[in-house]
Amino acid sequence: MIRAASDPSRQRPDAASDPTRRRVYRGAAEASGRTRYAARAMALDPRTPVVVGVGQATTPPDAALEPAQRPEPVELMVMALRAAAEDCAGDAPGASAPAGSALLRRADSVRVVVPLGWHAANPALQVARRLGFEEGAEPAELMLTAIGGNTPQALMHDACRAISRGERDVVLVTGAEAMYARALSRRRPDAAPLVWSDLPDEGTPPPVKFGVDKHGATDLEMSRGVVLPVHAYPLFENALRAANGWTIEEHLARVGALWSGFSQVAATNPHAWIRTPRAAEEIVTPSASNRMVSFPYPKLCTANMQVDQGAGYIVCSVEAARAAGVPEERWVFPLAGADGNDHWFISNRWELHRSPAIRLAGQAALELAGLGVDEVAAVDLYSCFPAVVQMAAAELGLAADDADRPLTLTGGLTFAGGPGNNYTSHGIARAVAALRATPGDSALVTGLGWFATKHSVGLYASRPPAHEGRRPFAWRDVQPEVDALPSRAVDDAPDGPVHVETYTVTFDRDGAPERGIFACRTGSGARAWGNLTEPATLADLCREDPIGRTATIDVDGILRFS
């Protein structure tokens, strides 16, 4: 069974689309006596960008399919875009799928969020040809992003700016992963091997690159064990606990409650990978089915990469939407966005429980959209690990426990699914559906890349920009503001006592502790990194908090407590 749908909110209202829970933005249109924000209420600039179609495709784990029968990534991408084309029609009388098909045919840009589990010469070219573009007549722009979960939202910003400037009319954005199929194939050596399509390297034009490929960790950080997100985010999580003065038990209760709420949202999402609600205690308690990964995270606190999921959206000018015949009630307006990176390497960040880039990007996007955060009805925060949700909520001024405004529309990367770099496309799809269900509302969506490094914040609404003089879309790069903030020096050979700033303990697949990773401060305030491998001490670190204790680090990076 393969699920591909365009508008999941039409199937079952949830917290994001319940009119009794929304926070309605009351701007210029209502002040003049209109209570519903419709695009026809204002004379719109024809270059105003609008999202007209969103689509998701999921091949669930219980589908009775052999690995080779499951869709490959490019199929999931095309399925998602075809679903987005169908979504353009909606339920309006007289609406028809040809509106979306017409937009697919006239697309002048196809943009693919780079997959992690499939490497191809030019995925956007494959998508275009499967959509019916003949060789030599493909869209003018075929794009492939750099690595980063921020890219679906950043692509939205870039597309809206290009549309506003008249450089593009119809932009298709898609991405997908088939990591579950790959893992299933490895577990089934008797099954037919996976052979995914590709174009020959020779003669295939390279895609236009979007973003910068740069590793997320320094050589020193990697030598101390900070290699993957599952090594970095627990460091932020424990730093959050220390900064807030919570005990380990209090902290685990908070994390469990947050993630349990996310699982309940996933249960209402027809495209979620795991749709069974989980109790808070179950989520944070290690078990045979929930092994410890990196303290304090068992598996149910981590992003679920083994999914077969795709998502995409169609964004175009008002002029193109009207020409194609997309009903105006299907239009959702990207109002504003902002992008920025925290100090690239963890070693240089001033504090490890904060994200200035999220704060500055959020403030900029809200200001440009003419909104206060309390006027935003629906929120989808990037949610690979609990730490980053808590960090983003604090920086944006959102309550982590507001039942009327959950911090996810999908259920997050643990439960809804974490398809590599493309998760935020699913968040955008859910935000668009929620806004259509409650005209007048606005939504905030965030994307994140590497180790809480790259950030993208977008504001959407079911109404056009607040007044006729406002630009069709507003965007700001907050990087100069972030770069002006203090950065921390690094001591790669500390000589003398250090104080533990934060830490994690990594575990093997059998549940045994392997290594402690410690971020420390020297007497001069520089950051230093150390490791500890003694099994008994590692076990103690999961019960007794070492943050703030004095230690030493030798030339090999081994940490010893005083």
Whether the Cβ atoms of residue 241 and residue 511 lie closer than 8 Å to each other: no
SS3 352: coil
SS3 117: coil
| Mean local confidence (pLDDT), 431-457 | 97
Comparing 125-134, 197-206, 529-538, the range with the smallest average pLDDT is 197-206
Question: Same domain for 533 and 461?
Answer: no
Question: Same domain for 321 and 421?
Answer: yes
Q: Work out the pLDDT band at 367, boundaries 50, 70, 90.
A: very high
Domain boundary among 419, 450, 483: 483
d(C-alpha 107, C-alpha 140), whole Å: 9
Question: Same domain for 508 and 460?
Answer: no
Whether the Cβ atoms of residue 227 and residue 450 lie closer than 8 Å to each other: no
The pLDDT tens digits of the residues spanning 280-338 come to: 999 999 999 999 999 999 999 999 999 999 999 999 999 999 999 999 999 999 999 99
Domain boundary among 455, 483, 511: 483
Q: Is the pLDDT of residue 253 over 60?
A: yes
The pLDDT tens digits of the residues spanning 415-430 come to: 999 999 999 999 999 9
- Domain span at residue 504 reads 498-561
Sequential DSSP letters for 130-147: HTTPPTT---SEEEEEPS
- Starting at the edge strand found earlier in the chain, the sheet holding 208-210 runs 3-5, 49-58, 308-317, 170-178, 109-112, 141-145, 208-210
| Mean local confidence (pLDDT), 61-80 | 92
Closest to 462 measured CA to CA, from 486, 436, 482: 436
Tokens, residue 198 = 């590709």
Query: What's the whole-number average pLDDT of the chain?
Result: 90
Question: Same domain for 437 and 462?
Answer: yes
Q: Examine residue 246 and state whether it is found in any structural domain, yes or no.
A: no
Angle (CA) 18-23-24 rounded to 5° is 100
| Mean local confidence (pLDDT), 548-559 | 94
Closest to 448 measured CA to CA, from 516, 508, 391, 372: 391
Whether the Cβ atoms of residue 7 and residue 273 lie closer than 8 Å to each other: no
| The predicted structure's pLDDT at residue 469 | 54
Residues 6+ apart with CB under 8 A from 183: 306
Question: Same domain for 433 and 538?
Answer: no
If one compares 28 and 531, the residue with the highest pLDDT of the two is 531
Tokens, residue 220 = 């020193």
The pLDDT tens digits of the residues spanning 497-528 come to: 999 999 999 999 999 999 999 999 999 999 99
CATH classification of the domain holding 207: 3.40.47.10
Question: Same domain for 387 and 521?
Answer: no
Q: Examine residue 492 and state whether it is found in any structural domain, yes or no.
A: no
| The predicted structure's pLDDT at residue 35 | 40
Comparing 160-169, 179-188, 392-401, the range with the smallest average pLDDT is 179-188
Q: Examine residue 226 and state whether it is found in any structural domain, yes or no.
A: no
Q: Examine residue 38 and state whether it is found in any structural domain, yes or no.
A: yes
CATH classification of the domain holding 555: 2.40.50.840
Question: Same domain for 185 and 49?
Answer: yes
Question: Same domain for 61 and 153?
Answer: yes
What's the number of domains the chain is made of? Answer: 2
| Mean local confidence (pLDDT), 238-244 | 97
pLDDT > 90 in the chain, percent: 81
* Cα 192 to the center of its chain, rounded Å: 33
Question: Same domain for 509 and 441?
Answer: no
Domain boundary among 483, 513, 530: 483
Q: Examine residue 433 and state whether it is found in any structural domain, yes or no.
A: yes
d(C-alpha 537, C-alpha 17), whole Å: 49
Comparing 31-40, 236-245, 354-363, 373-382, the range with the smallest average pLDDT is 31-40
Q: Examine residue 227 and state whether it is found in any structural domain, yes or no.
A: no
Question: Same domain for 109 and 164?
Answer: yes
Question: Same domain for 86 and 182?
Answer: yes
Whether the Cβ atoms of residue 478 and residue 361 lie closer than 8 Å to each other: yes
pLDDT > 70 in the chain, percent: 90
Question: Same domain for 435 and 513?
Answer: no
Q: Is the pLDDT of residue 537 over 90?
A: yes
Closest to 4 measured CA to CA, from 59, 52, 51: 59
| The predicted structure's pLDDT at residue 97 | 66
Q: Examine residue 118 and state whether it is found in any structural domain, yes or no.
A: yes
Q: Work out the pLDDT band at 464, boundaries 50, 70, 90.
A: confident
